[in-house]
Amino acid sequence: MIRWFIYLFLGILFGIILTKSEVISWYRIQEMFRFQSFHMYGIIGSAIFTGMVLIGLLKLNGGKAIDGTKIDFPKKVYNHGYIIGGSIFGMGWAMTGACPGPLFALVGAGVYPVLIIILFALIGTWVYSYFRPNLPH
């Protein structure tokens, strides 16, 4: 039960950060793709740097979770979907001005039309699942 509260709490924290730093704004994403501000690059870059340092320290320390269990570090294996699917997502990112996390935070911020975008994202996910065997990977 306490685990569910941890996930909920960390989700709330993530949602607050995304909203307060304006990552969820369409305008900020346009600014990023036009290279007209350091804001988004600073956020993504310093998030990766902080994560890298903390995860590096964790690995040095034996790679154990707080309860002593071994943490899995799954290795991602490249397939062509990374580039093809990635580019398709990038186009959608520029259009909707939001990646999946911000979509949910936007609904929280009261931008209810985003529910339509989420519905179409679900349709997109389903259509991908259906055609997956026929797509190059």
Partner 1 sequence: MNFLYEPWPWYVAGPLIGITLFLLLWVSNKNLGISSSFRHVCAACVPANISFLKYDWKAEKWNLIFVLGVFLGGVIAWNVIGHPELIAISDATIRDIQKLGISHESGLLPSSLISFESFITWQGFLFMAIGGFFVGFGTRYAGGCTSGHAITGLSHLQWASLLAVVGFFAGGLVMTHLIFPLIF
What residues between 71 and 110 interact with partner 1 by CB under 8 A? 71-79, 81-101, 103-110
What is the C-alpha to C-alpha distance for residues 94 and 47, in angstroms, rounded to an integer? 21
**Binding to partner 1 (CB under 8 A): which residues in 2-41?**
3-4, 6-34, 36-41
Shortest gap between Cβ of 87 and partner 1 (angstroms)? 4
Closer Cβ to partner 1, 60 or 89, answer by number:
89
Q: Is 134 in the site for partner 1 (CB under 8 A)?
A: no
Q: Are 97 and 25 in contact (CB under 8 A)?
A: yes
97 CB burial (10 A radius; 0-12, 13-18, 19+): buried
Q: Are 23 and 102 in contact (CB under 8 A)?
A: yes
**Binding to partner 1 (CB under 8 A): which residues in 108-127?**
108-114, 116-127
Shortest gap between Cβ of 80 and partner 1 (angstroms)? 9
Shortest gap between Cβ of 45 and partner 1 (angstroms)? 7
Q: Which residues contact 1 (CB under 8 A, 6 or more apart)?
A: none
